[in-house]
Amino acid sequence: MEISRDKLLWAYERMRLIREFEDRLHTDFAAGKIPGFVHLYAGEEAVAVGLCAHLRDNDFITSTHRGHGHCIAKGVDLREMMAEIYGKATGACKGKGGSMHIADVNKGMLGANGIVGGGPPLACGAGLTAKLKGTDQVTVCFFGDGASNQGTTFEGLNLAGIWKLPVVFVCENNGYAETTSPQYSVAGQDIAARARGFGMPSIAIDGLDFFAVYEAAGEAIARARRGEGPTFIEAQTYRYYGHFEGDSVRYRNREEEEHYRSRDCLYRFRQTATAQGLLTEAELDAIDARARAAINEASQFAADSPMPDPAELLTDVYVDYPMAALWPFQEPAVPVYR
């Protein structure tokens, strides 16, 4: 497995930024500063970063309701993300989407998604586009163990399978769909094995180990770029906070939480990189400090930004379709908002 020193530094910085971002939201939400729902990705950083480390800006990802980590790993601007979550006009979607709808097409981030299982059909659309255009763009489709039970996910796997689309399906199995463990919600419980029925190779990996994710992701994404079709990866991971902020987390015990925190991805990354002599403690400490400062700055930017103008309420809601091209449909009786 080849990985450059620059890539190692990048990966640690991205994982640390995600952790700081989520820890900050945890406290800001408790302080009543954030409107709407927030689902935090802390603990799962190695998955998003291990995958996105192999992607280019013109590759695509689809995300979930727990999408902040995917956004940061794909390079979405931190200040615009934070402002979006604060519901401010300077947000990535002008403050209208909030935490669950952050998107940045310029970075190939096709959107967080409030619909559980909403990502796979979108990923197939992006994959089909790349295939028809003959590009080598790859789409990574993140979803959770809960979404693994959704019809949309099965439809997406089927489409990707029959059309050999350049899509990597990544099931982030964090052990709970909202509050329910796969023991009660996933028939068979073997999520990775399900993909075998769709004719694609499938593996299960330690999602708490950046290096394990990075290596497996590299092989899967390279397959997709070579035109060899989709791959399914079940990344076994864990979220540190509740399903949403405000969740009292009564469905799991302290011993379990402490076990997974003892296998923390950032800690293990630091251990491996320093023991190998690839990075120094000082370098990593400096990244920690920079990440903290960047999140402070993003948070302040969000707090200082204006709320959206009420006159903006109906802009950017619908695309301005050329109605004449939609024949045989008639011009709607109600106006199209623009």
Q: How far apart are CA 87 and CA 84, in angstroms?
A: 5
Whichever of 222 and 289 has its CB closer to another protein, that residue is 222
Is residue 281 involved in binding another protein (CB under 8 A)?
Answer: no
Binding mask 201-240 for another protein (x = CB under 8 A): xxxxx---x-xx-xxx--xx--x-------x--x-x----
Q: Does 274 bind another protein (CB under 8 A)?
A: no
Binder to another protein among 275, 311, 319, 333 (CB under 8 A)?
Answer: 275
Q: How far is residue 71's CA from residue 49's CA, in Å, rounded to a whole number?
A: 10
180 or 272, CB closer to another protein? 272
Q: 162: which DSSP letter?
A: H
Tell me whether residue 191 or residue 295 sits nearer to another protein (CB atom).
191
Q: What is the DSSP letter of 204?
A: E
Residue 271 sits in the site that holds another protein (CB under 8 A): no
Assigned token pair, 108: 């190939």
DSSP string, 264-295: -HHHHHHHHHHHTTSS-HHHHHHHHHHHHHHH
Between residues 56 and 259, which has the closer beta carbon with respect to another protein?
A: 259
Q: Which of 277, 328, 332, 335 binds another protein (CB under 8 A)?
A: 277
Q: How far is the CB of 46 from another protein (least distance, A)?
A: 11
Considering the complex, what minimum distance in angstroms separates the CB of residue 55 from another protein? 17
**Is residue 180 within the footprint of another protein (CB under 8 A)?**
no
Closest approach of another protein to the CB of residue 326, in Å: 44
Tell which one of 56, 226, 259, 338 touches another protein (CB under 8 A): 259
- In terms of CB distance, is 125 or 144 closer to another protein? 144
Q: How far is the CB of 89 from another protein (least distance, A)?
A: 44
255 is a contact residue toward another protein (CB under 8 A): yes
Q: Determine the Cα–Cα distance for residues 163 and 24; give it in Å rounded to an integer.
A: 42
Could you tell me if 234 and 205 are in contact, meaning their C-beta atoms sit under 8 angstroms apart? yes
Q: Which of 25, 51, 138, 192 binds another protein (CB under 8 A)?
A: 192
Q: DSSP characters for 304-319?
A: HSPPPPGGGTTTTSS-
The least CB distance from residue 168 to another protein, in Å, is 11
**Burial per residue of 71-102, b for 16 or more beta-carbon CB atoms within 10 angstroms, e otherwise:** bbbbbbbbbbbbbbbbbbebbbbbbbbbbbbb
CB 177 to another protein: min, Å: 14
Phi/psi at 217 (nearest 5 deg)?
-65, -40
CB of 226 to another protein, least distance (A): 12
Tell me: does residue 254 bind another protein (CB under 8 A): no
Contacts of 232 (CB under 8 A, 6+ apart): 157, 168, 169, 171, 192, 194, 195, 198, 200, 201, 202, 203
Q: Which of 106, 189, 280, 315 binds another protein (CB under 8 A)?
A: 189
Q: Which two tokens stand for residue 8?
A: 């190692």
Neighbours of 251 (CB within 10 A): 14
Distance CA 194, CA 265 (A): 27
Q: How many residues bind another protein (CB under 8 A)?
A: 38
Question: What is the identity of the amino acid at 181?
Answer: S
Give contact residues for another protein (rule: CB under 8 A): 1, 3, 175, 182-183, 188-190, 192-193, 195-196, 201-205, 209, 211-212, 214-216, 219-220, 223, 231, 234, 236, 255-256, 259, 263, 272, 275-278
